[in-house]
Amino acid sequence: MATVAPPPEAAARPSARADALLRRVELRVGRRLDGILQGERRGRRPGPGGEPSLTRRYEPGDDVRWIDWPLTARTRQAMVRVPELEPVLTAWALVDRSPSMDFGSGQVTKAQLATEALAGLGVVLRRRGDRLGVVATTDGGLDLVRPPRGDRRGLVAAIAEVSAVRSPEEPGRTQLARALTTLGRVARHRGAIVVISDLPPSPALENALGTLARRHEVIAVEVRDPRERELPVLGTVRLRDMETGQTRLVDTADPRFRQRLEEVQAQERARRAGMLTRVGARHVVLDTEDDWVLPLARALSMPRRRSL
């Protein structure tokens, strides 16, 4: 039986939506981040304020802005100071697309916020001339692998493909540690690893992050929703674990339940913070109801622990 190919405009819709999302993010980043990230790394486009690494005679074709006029006057020969340029930084972003990321109590789910954060990360890296590779996982395997690129077209394609990844229908716990271990074999060159997830703490995840942190700069982007921290008083409701599919009937007005819930959440926050501190990862928290641009910018502008 012959199949009918979809019209060209249908195939172009995911890329069109990704391009529209990227344009919105570029506008927000341009307005909010100008001046915040300046000076965090030296650019690869030399300017008059570049730091010198080599002093030599002027040669035809040299940028006239490199001319060191005091030195030229002393030696009576045209001398230039060539700026020292940093190598291109290669970063990898792992986007968690497990079932728990589909939760959202407002207009935006955690998965949608993760995609916006990915776009923001790509915009910042492109402004610096760096490259970004993108992988996505749903159950521990790498469901999507896009090699590092530094152009806008590659970023649009990565956003579209990440948005198309769907969480598995069969319930199961997130195996983020297995995905990070696999990513460690893919990201062979020293660079940066950005993990965008709700980061359920576990010994396996800590080991995987610690292994990556020995070679790479690790940035853990925790995506969360306010309803995961505080439940409204709704009486008796049925709650479902989005990863295991298990349901439980609870009384949200019961003071003992609410106290126990707060204790469990505080313990998990402490475990997560301790885990990331021990492995030496930067930690940034993005909330589905708050602005994510400035928290992400602050995390990216922090001094690196070592030269990349």
Residuewise pLDDT in 10s, the chain (308 residues): 444 444 545 445 778 999 999 999 888 877 766 555 554 454 444 444 444 357 888 877 777 888 889 888 988 899 888 765 556 789 999 999 998 899 988 889 999 999 999 999 999 888 878 899 999 999 889 999 999 998 999 999 999 999 999 887 776 677 899 999 999 999 988 899 999 999 999 999 999 999 999 999 999 999 999 988 888 888 888 888 777 778 889 888 899 989 998 999 999 999 999 999 999 999 999 999 888 888 887 777 665 554 44
pLDDT of 12 = 55
The two structure tokens encoding residue 95: 């986007």
Tell me, yes or no, whether 259 lies in a domain.
Answer: no
Domain match, 70 and 128 both? no
**Residues 201, 8: Cα–Cα separation, whole Å:** 44
Domain match, 164 and 76 both? no
Domain match, 96 and 78 both? no
Domain match, 136 and 221 both? yes
Tell me, yes or no, whether 211 lies in a domain.
Answer: yes
State pLDDT tens for residues 7-61. 545 445 778 999 999 999 888 877 766 555 554 454 444 444 444 357 888 877 7
From first CA to last CA, the distance across the chain in angstroms is 55
Tell me, yes or no, whether 267 lies in a domain.
Answer: no
Q: Which 8-state DSSP code applies to residue 62?
A: -
Tell me, yes or no, whether 261 lies in a domain.
Answer: no
pLDDT of 65 = 81
CATH number of the domain that 172 lies in? 3.40.50.410
Domain match, 68 and 196 both? no
pTM of the model: 0.79
- Mean pLDDT score of the chain, rounded to an integer? 83
Tell me, yes or no, whether 114 lies in a domain.
Answer: yes
Q: Is 181 exposed, middle or buried (0-12, 13-18, 19+ CB in 10 A)?
A: middle
pLDDT of 84 = 59
Domain match, 192 and 64 both? no
Domain match, 64 and 185 both? no
pLDDT of 85 = 54
**Residues 134, 132: Cα–Cα separation, whole Å:** 7
Domain match, 57 and 202 both? no
Domain match, 171 and 289 both? yes
Q: How many domains does the chain have?
A: 2
Question: Could you tell me what percentage of the chain is helix, strand and coil, using 3-state DSSP and rounding each to the nearest 5?
Answer: 45, 20, 35
Among 83, 104, 134, which residue terminates a domain?
A: 83
Domain match, 59 and 169 both? no
Domain match, 213 and 127 both? yes
Tell me, yes or no, whether 242 lies in a domain.
Answer: no
The two structure tokens encoding residue 222: 């925790």
Q: Which 8-state DSSP code applies to residue 237?
A: E
**Structural domain of 63:** 52-83
Domain match, 99 and 128 both? yes
